[in-house]
Amino acid sequence: MGALYGYYRAADAQAAVRVADEPGGPTVANSSWDAVDGKGIDPAVVLGRLVALVRDTPWHTGLVDGTVVWPAGGYPADWERVPENSPWVTGPWIEELGPAARDTLAGIDNARIADLAARWARIEEFDRQAEPFALQSFLERLVLLARRARAAGEKLYCWSSL
């Protein structure tokens, strides 16, 4: 079983971390969050590759400009001393995406979505297993989520868990 990802919007980090207490995150049935199930789409690399395609720029690790907001307090200085029951070990983890990434996604013209999904499906991280149609459907929903977040003055977040 791989990592699970859910993208959602919230006014700020304080509001966003409330999802950490909800089993299954923001995309479970009957969730009150405005969210999109990201399946295996991590924010830094796979989503970052999409942002690079949209901007027609080379991908780099900071492209999405994410900041971990849960667990609080920043990354542990000594991973070997982190207790087994620490949220750093057990998850979930919540990352705030940078506003430029949100705006890039919100600004995608609907006419470009099919082409972007087809090109995105060919990135090496998908290992030729990505279905362009499924990525197109995800991208359509993500673009709409990003537009709603931008219109409301909110940020995009990624919830992840193992």
Q: How many angstroms separate the first and last alpha carbons of the chain?
A: 8
For 9, the domain range is 4-161
Tokens 């509001």 -> residue: 15
Q: What is the reported pLDDT for 32?
A: 93
- Flag residues of the chain having pLDDT under 70: 1, 128-129
Whether pTM exceeds 0.95? no
pLDDT at res. 27: 94
Sequence-distant (6+) residues with CB within 8 A of 57 are 63
pLDDT at 86: 85
Distance CA 28, CA 23 (A): 8
The pLDDT value given to residue 2: 77
- Find tokens 């479970």 and name the residue: 28
